[in-house]
Structure 1
Amino acid sequence: MALRVGERAVGTAWVVSAAGELDGATAGRLRAAVDRALDALPAAVVVDLTAVTFIDSAGVRAVLDRRSVIRALDSRLHVVAGAEQVRAVLELSGLLEGQPLHRELSEVLGADPAGLAAAG
């Protein structure tokens, strides 16, 4: 299955959503979308993987390799994943140390997306 990537501003955050398989062949598309999000200097970057059906180590790196840039911009990274396989790969990678993993996008955006910057 191909990867579809979407991007949208929500309040002070930039949400990058992916659907399909996130692997070595498709990871560059997600990474490019996160880079475009960073151009907007958002208070937070939310990587929404709730529609991702498969992820491998290249996909994990695509999700997390911009953390230092995000921190340097005084922004926050939030990762959302609902599928157990995707969550397990992210957790087993060991790269989530200190990085929260949310189950649903509403956990991050809540009722007031503009207040996202104050969220943990």
Structure 2
Amino acid sequence: MIGIDLIKIDRMKRLIERFGDHALSKFLSDNEIALIKNPRTAAGFWAAKEACSKALGCGIGHECGFHDIILSKSSKGAPIITLTPKVQDAFKITHTSVSITHDGDYAIAVVALETSSKI
């Protein structure tokens, strides 16, 4: 299953300028917020979580919330995406992959999920 999302970086910049870390806490954990360097990074994280929910086929909502999707970084700085056990079990996810990129005014993320069987 594959999901993709695109966000204008300026949208995230305005959100942060208006509400600060409180805005970030709506979709990121404290550990994720610690990884945010600038609005570009925050926009990439937003896009990754949205792309993941699209790959699950449910969007952000009751079945999978923003905090059920966890972003971290590898030792080389590559993004890593994991799911809470609740979501991983419900959707039978066995492997996750994420790619985040920024170009000009936009951040884009693609998430691929593998399952153990059909959902």
Q: What TM-score range do you get, normalising by the shorter chain?
A: under 0.3
TM-score by length of 1: 0.24
For the pair shown, the structure with the greater C-alpha radius of gyration is: 2
| Structure possessing the higher relative contact order (Cα contacts under 8 Å, 6 or more residues apart) | 2
